[in-house]
């Protein structure tokens, strides 16, 4: 039986959810973080399959632990074991899984894998990272930002580095919730233009400002949040040396942090390549919130699972 009580069945893209639903998700995250015992039976008797084509520490552990804390059962499926789309079609994988499990979490390369699985499965599909977005990361990050500032409206988030999937999801969420967003990216590595256009459309409704710049110092100026990610993501290892040369002026260090507000915080989705996109001084400094945001992945992902699956 399909779930009809919530407007969206899946969590594939930030763009799919309304600002109201996203705020409700964050409020639920706060409640679940403060009163976890109140939700210990939310997924009682339910099973969640987890497909991971890419390596994972935070996403794998937080979903696994989160499902357990909600009273559910997780089933881990590696790419070596399932060989998605090769051993058998995505359609057939979906039609098999939906007969056994109540939800699916997938970390994959192609965004189409997420959308195709969601199309073929009646049960919820959660995007745990693909080439285009990392929506679970963005929601956890915004929980951390709100914990530090009380609100996001009128604040500035500066993403400095590669215009990648994390950049996309943060930009879309900022645009939805009214937070100003600046991406300071080397030329040729800017975020996907269609995502920028979509974010600017949402920003008109929320009052947020979306900027795409090519200067790190300018991007960091007066920021409330300085955010970065690795310069070469999974699957881009062959470009690592070239990217290190091109991105060297975009390193987050003490000098660049001084361009931000004195009250600014530093964030990184992790894993980090210390000494490349960020220095140890910043990673381990008093402005760093990297482990707070890592913890908050647990609470926001539990909220996603609860919103999509509780009461199914």
**C-alpha triplet 265, 271, 274: angle, nearest 5°:** 75
Of the candidates 269, 289, 299, 306, the residue annotated as catalytic is 269
| Distance separating alpha carbons of residues 259 and 226, to the nearest angstrom | 10
Of the candidates 60, 134, 168, 268, the residue annotated as catalytic is 134
- Structure token digits, residue 113: 């894998």
Partners of residue 182 on adjacent β-strands: 158, 211
- Structure token digits, residue 138: 């963005």
- Residues 198, 13: contact at Cβ < 8 Å? no
| Distance separating alpha carbons of residues 277 and 268, to the nearest angstrom | 10
Residue 87 is among the residues annotated as catalytic for this protein = no
Of the candidates 297, 299, 301, 306, the residue annotated as catalytic is 297
Of the candidates 69, 137, 251, 301, the residue annotated as catalytic is 137
Residue 137 is among the residues annotated as catalytic for this protein = yes
Q: What distances in angstroms separate CA 8 from CA 3, 11, 124, 187, 308, one per listed residue?
A: 9, 8, 9, 36, 8
Of the candidates 10, 69, 102, 107, the residue annotated as catalytic is 107
Of the candidates 60, 229, 243, 306, the residue annotated as catalytic is 229
| Distance separating alpha carbons of residues 312 and 310, to the nearest angstrom | 6
Residue with tokens 């939310």: 42
Residue 236 is among the residues annotated as catalytic for this protein = no
Residue 243 is among the residues annotated as catalytic for this protein = no
Buried b / exposed e over 106-141, threshold 16 CB at 10 Å, is bbbeebebbbbbbebbebbbbbbbbbbbbbbbbbbb
Task: Map residue 47 onto helix, strand or coil.
Answer: strand
Residue 269 is among the residues annotated as catalytic for this protein = yes
- Structure token digits, residue 117: 């699985």
Residue 229 is among the residues annotated as catalytic for this protein = yes
Residue 89's φ and ψ, nearest 5 degrees, are -65, 155
Q: Hey, which bits of 109-186 come out as E strands?
A: 125-127, 156-160, 180-184
**Sheet strand arrangement including 210-213:** 210-213, 180-184, 156-160, 225-228, 265-268
Active site residues: 107, 134, 137, 229, 269, 297
């Amino acid at each position: 039986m399909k779930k009809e009580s919530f407007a969206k069945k899946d969590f594939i893209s930030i763009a799919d959810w309304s600002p109201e639903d996203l705020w409700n998700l964050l409020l639920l995250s706060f409640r679940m973080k403060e009163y976890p015992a109140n939700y210990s039976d939310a997924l009682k008797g339910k099973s969640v399959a987890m497909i991971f084509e890419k390596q994972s520490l935070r996403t794998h552990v937080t979903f696994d632990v989160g499902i357990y804390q909600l009273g559910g059962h997780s089933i881990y499926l590696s790419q070596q074991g399932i060989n998605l789309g090769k051993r058998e079609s995505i359609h057939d994988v979906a039609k098999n899984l939906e007969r056994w499990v109540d939800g699916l979490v997938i970390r994959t390369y192609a965004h189409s894998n997420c959308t195709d699985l969601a199309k073929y499965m009646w049960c919820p599909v959660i995007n745990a990272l693909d080439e285009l977005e990392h929506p679970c990361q963005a929601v956890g990050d915004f929980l951390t930002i709100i914990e530090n500032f009380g609100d996001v409206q009128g604040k500035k988030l500066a993403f400095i580095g590669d215009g990648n999937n994390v950049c996309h999801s943060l930009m879309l969420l900022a645009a939805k919730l009214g937070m100003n967003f600046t991406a300071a990216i080397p030329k040729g590595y800017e975020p996907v233009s269609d995502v920028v256009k979509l974010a600017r459309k949402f920003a008109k409704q929320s009052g947020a400002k979306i900027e795409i710049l090519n200067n790190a110092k300018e991007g960091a100026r007066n920021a409330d949040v300085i955010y970065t990610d690795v310069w070469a993501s999974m699957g881009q290892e062959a470009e690592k040396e070239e990217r290190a040369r091109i991105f060297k002026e975009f390193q987050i260090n003490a000098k660049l942090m001084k361009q931000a507000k004195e009250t600014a915080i530093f964030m990184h989705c992790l894993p980090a390549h210390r000494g490349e996109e960020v220095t140890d001084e910043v990673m381990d400094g008093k402005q760093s919130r990297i482990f707070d945001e890592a913890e908050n992945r647990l609470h926001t992902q539990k909220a996603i699972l609860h919103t999509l699956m509780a009461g199914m």
